[in-house]
Amino acid sequence: MKCQILLIVAFLVISSRGTSQNLLLELKEDIIDEIHRLFKTYILGDYFYGEQTVEDVITENGTTYDFIVIGSGPSGSVMANRLSEIPEWKILLIEAGEDPSLITDVPVLSCGTLLWTGYNWGYRAEKQDGFCRGCPGQTMNWPHGKVLGGTTIINYMLFTRGNHLDYDKWADMGNPGWSYKEVLPYFLKFEDAHLEKIDRGYHRKGGYLSVSDVPIRSKAIDVYIDAAQEAGHPYVDYNGKNQMGVSYVQTALRKGRRHSADKAFLRPVRHRGNLVITTKSTAVEILIHPDTKEAYGVKYVKNYVEYTAVAKKEVILSAGSLNSPQVLMLSGIGPKEHLKELGIPVKRDLPVGQKMYDHVTFPGVIYVVNETITYSLEEIILNLHKYIYEYLFYGKGVLTTAGFVEGFTYIKTNASQDPNPNYPDMELIFAGATFSTIRGLLYRDFFNIPKYVYDVMWKPLEHKNAYQVTVSIVEKKMEKMFEKKNNCDKFMFSDYTYADPENHDIKTVIAAIREIQRINSQPSLRKYGATIVTTKIPGCEEYTFDTDEYWECGIRTLTATLVHQVATCKMGPHNDKEAVVDAKLRVHGIKNLRVVDTSVIPMPITAHLMAPGYMIGEKGADIVKERWLSNH
């Protein structure tokens, strides 16, 4: 198979030099499907596994550490790094996945495309009644990283901190220390900024994580930004003084390559003798003394063998918004009635997993233009040898694109329920390409688009110049979830629904679509004949295109998630009946146990979760250090 893969790559490169141009551009559908299968099975699958750089650590049963960190996503990697700065402390980092492979470095190949590999837990939601009607099985993908570096290995690398008001609201909810003024220093602490247009005082150089502009941009994003400004949206640094407006995306890239939590925070400190990293190790229970309610260790499974590690000081749970509530419930911390149903002894009755917010998105707004200002598969193929060379030697070219996502516009629609004019309710995500640009090979699966829908909506655009603007709602969106089975390898959901009983969210998304149309009607885009694609979404044929009724049908048919689940281990004071942890991230009623990841975020925020995840790790590490270094 190795020879076959190399032959495919060689064929593409040779073809890109013009020797087989017509053959490549006229690939028949069955050949495209076979390339899709090979790509998913081998290029993104087990073929590239085994490039391990972490020693396969197997510790003796009962080994004692000062701190045990569960999960190596953005928060967990920061915790492991910062706690191991104290040479007297011994740290164990437990990660269920393995070391990432070389393919994860290449943005265009790894942004949202690794769903079919072992790097993703493979979670899906329950069948939806009111939404996701056109999704496979009417269920939604919930990608969640199972690899050293967590979801920062499989996401789109988009770096957004959120609005100042997000964090001020956290503090107002009874969480002292979490206002924007108080968390901004932690955002700055880890950042190494390589950005052109920024607000002074809101970025810094020298931190662990590289935050960069994408090295390549289509002409379409330049034109779109001009049009957005013509429509009244100012150009902003959305991680700076004001979030409301349009801008190019900021990403976690370092010299054109993915800069993950592993690369940023773990690889630089793996030489530390007091940091032990064990991969392919699944935490199945936090050990809690039944009388003192004190966490004292972790039980985990590695190579089908169960091990126990002891924590002298604390256990830090950083497994993310889906796995952290799961581990808590498997440890006896959760809703008592639910735990009793599962036969799990109740250590602490807490509303774990009872609250969840998510950012729902609609990818069905597509435009065509009459000039090649968007990305083009034909152009990529013809110049593939150049792009490979640029990527390998200079970290530039089309291989560095973050899944073709190029710009954000944060807006406030007339359907917003928040009166503050500086707080957006919608995020418009501009991509200088569509799923059709690369014949549906990579990105349609991330957005849960089945092939029959692709064939109707996107396949006719395969040889056209097209782009799309994805709509994401950032105001409140509530769901409920419960751990359903006592099984560490499965994560099932019940009583879970994308509920919108008053149609407020639907109205907000439609209002955002109207704003997209207004932006695209501006002179800068009219110059290129920007025209909305009027092909009807399958299942919505009975409605007149562009009516509110049509768009509501479309939104309920093509429903996707940006994987921004929060509040499953909600942060709040002891009198908050929904809270699981307090403002110091301590689990209510359990000693020496904290949850440090995005599951503690108490409300939906106007951000992609990677940046807040790093910030929570930085602040959490300081909270832990303050306790143990001050001897309180």
Average pLDDT over residues 472-494: 52
Q: Is 147 annotated as a binding residue?
A: yes
Q: What are phi and psi of 305, to 5 degrees?
A: -115, 140
pLDDT in tens, 36-75: 454 544 444 443 433 445 556 666 788 999 999 999 999 9
Q: Indicate the pLDDT class of residue 473, thresholds 50, 70 and 90.
A: confident
For the ranges 192-196, 447-451, 570-574, the lowest mean pLDDT is seen at: 447-451
Q: Indicate the pLDDT class of residue 125, thresholds 50, 70 and 90.
A: confident
For residue 408, give the 3-state DSSP assignment.
strand
For residue 507, give the 3-state DSSP assignment.
helix
Q: What are phi and psi of 62, to 5 degrees?
A: 85, 10
**pLDDT at 34 exceeding the cut of 80:** no
**pLDDT at 16 exceeding the cut of 90:** no
Catalytic residues: 564, 608
**pLDDT at 588 exceeding the cut of 60:** yes
pLDDT in tens, 168-188: 999 999 999 999 999 999 999
CA distance to 16, 24, 365, 393, 575, per residue, from 8 (Å): 12, 12, 34, 22, 61
pLDDT of residue 497: 56
DSSP letters spanning 181-238: HHHHHHHHHHEEEE-SS--TTS--SSSSEEEEE-S---HHHHHHHHHHHHTT--B--T
**pLDDT at 624 exceeding the cut of 80:** yes
Cβ 411 vs Cβ 470: under 8 Å = no
Q: For residues 318 and 503, give the distance between their C-alpha atoms in angstroms, rounded to a whole number.
A: 35
pLDDT of residue 179: 98
For 398-480, list the strands marked E by DSSP. 405-411, 426-431, 465-473, 478-479
Neighbours of 168 (CB within 10 A): 16
Q: Indicate the pLDDT class of residue 602, thresholds 50, 70 and 90.
A: very high
Record the tokens describing residue 512, joined without a space. Answer: 């955002």
Average pLDDT over residues 152-165: 97
Q: Is 57 annotated as a binding residue?
A: no
Beta bridge partners of 473: 426
- Interhelix angle 74-83/610-629, rounded to 10 degrees, is 30
Cβ 441 vs Cβ 32: under 8 Å = yes
pLDDT of residue 501: 57
Q: For residues 325 and 484, give the distance between their C-alpha atoms in angstroms, rounded to a whole number.
A: 12
How far is it between the farthest Cα atoms of the chain?
75
pLDDT in tens, 509-566: 999 999 999 999 999 999 999 999 999 999 999 999 999 999 999 999 998 888 899 9
Record the tokens describing residue 382, joined without a space. Answer: 């013809």
Pure H helices in 67-148: 74-83, 107-110
pLDDT in tens, 603-612: 999 999 999 9
Q: Indicate the pLDDT class of residue 78, thresholds 50, 70 and 90.
A: very high
**pLDDT at 293 exceeding the cut of 80:** yes
pLDDT of residue 485: 42
pLDDT in tens, 387-445: 999 999 999 999 999 999 999 999 999 988 888 999 999 999 999 999 999 888 778 88
Q: For residues 445 and 439, give the distance between their C-alpha atoms in angstroms, rounded to a whole number.
A: 12
How would you classify the pairing of strands 348-349 and 333-334? parallel
Average pLDDT, rounded, for the chain? 88
pLDDT of residue 42: 45
For the ranges 237-246, 335-344, 365-374, the lowest mean pLDDT is seen at: 335-344
